[in-house]
Structures are given as C-alpha cells and as structure tokens.
Amino acid sequence: MTTRPTTTRAVIVGAGGLGGPIALALGAAGIELTIIDDDRVELSNLHRQIQFTDADLGTPKATRLAEMIVAHGGAARGIVARWTASRADELGGDADLIVDGSDDPETKFAISDWAVANGRCYVIAAALRYGGNVFAGVPGVGCYRCLFEAPVDAPSCADAGVLGPIVGAIGGVAAALALGLVSGDRTYAGALLAFDDLRKVAEPRVVRFAARPDCPACMRAPISPLATAPVRVAEHS
C-alpha cells in the first residue's frame, strides 16, 4: 500500500517587504500557505514590497499575495487579520511552521510564545535601515523570549526606514531557514543570524545562547529546553 505524502503547511504573518519574498519562496517550494496581514497596499510600500505594483493599491496585502502564489501554481489563502494571542489557535491551526515577517515586536513575541507552547517550528525575521536579523526556533531549544525577554518600543520601517533590497535579502535568509527546518535541518536551530549592515558585510554574526532558566514560554513548552541539565563543552574533551 502506497502512503500518500503529507502536505507541509506554513503560516506567514506579514505580507509586506519581508513576508512577500518569504511567501513566494515557500509557495514555489510546494508548501501550502496561510498568509495573515490586516494591511492594504499603499504607494509608499512599493519601493520595498516587490510583489506589489500600483495596480494593487488599496487591495488587502494578504489576499493579493495569496492570489499571486496561486497564479504561479502554488497553494495559498490570505486572511485579512492581525495575529494576536487571543486568535493564535484559530490562525495557527494545524500549521507545521510559523514564519513572522511583521514589523511589530508584540506580534513577534506572540508568534514565538504560541509556537513554543504548541511545539511548532518557527522563524522570526526583522529588517531595519541597512540590516536585520533572523531567528530559527524549534521545540527543545532556547526561544525568542529567552534572548529578548520582552517587547520594547522600537522604530518600525515606517519610522526609521529600510533600504529596499535589504528586506529581500533578509526575507531570502528567512525562507532558506524555514525550508531547512521543515526538511529536518537543525544547523541554525535556536540561533539568531544578525546582519549588521549588508552594504558592508554579507556574512551574519551567528548568535547562540542557552535557554533562560526563568523563561515563562519555555516553562510551558511541551518539549522544554529546561528539562535537561545544560551540557558543559569543557567536560566533553
């Protein structure tokens, strides 16, 4: 009896400068997508959100991006909504992977907390000015909240600006890490790839860290990095 292959499902939160390249790459790879964004296309978006043109002005970003992926043979649906903790179970559904491309710290923490609590892989991407960072999370490793602890007031792309090609570059890295996670590649699991200034250096700083002992997200995780004692590298010669 032949076993029918299962479809990998991913939720992408944000359909803008980061979410666009991520969705296009994952859709082309055959991943079934749910795209979540509550915003509409504006003229000021077009220099960095390459998936849209002036013909798309005023349309919901989530549904328009999903239509593009479907038109190229992929599977996607758009939901005009904002990811919040109260709607996370509804929006996350049975996704195997959650990818954040939003421009909001609260949203990033809400996504991380939900993914950790539900044992899902997740990727969180951010871009600002000339650089950005991407975090890859899997069950059983230190999480996004272990590193950053809590949201802080930070400038958005609208406030501080971002060089147009930067979001494409960071989005490409996020898509590559996401595809690696769903295929079982854990090379960068639990690590933050930080690109300080892509105009000068293309290679990221890879930041690895231990789980924070008092992390409230990891304490509730079904597969917690706090369940086992840390391995001391010096003890394994």
- Cite the active site residues: 157
Please list, in sequence order, all residues whose beta carbon lies within 8 angstroms of the beta carbon of residue 56, skipping any fewer than 6 positions away.
41, 64
Residue 165 falls in which region: left (phi positive, over 0), alpha (psi -120 to 50) or beta: alpha
Query: What is the spatial distance between Cα 83 and Cα 101, in angstroms, rounded to a whole number?
Result: 11
Tokens for 58? Answer: 């005023």
Residue that the structure tokens 């904002």 belong to: 82
Q: Which residues of 42-62 are buried (b: 16+ CB within 10 A; e: fewer)?
A: eeebbebbbbbeeebeeebbb
Report which of 150, 145, 100 is spatially closest to residue 122, judged by C-alpha positions: 100
Ramachandran angles phi, psi of 170, nearest 5°: -65, -40
CA–centroid distance for 194 within its chain: 14
Name beta bridge partners: 34. 11, 77
Tokens for 10? Answer: 């991913």
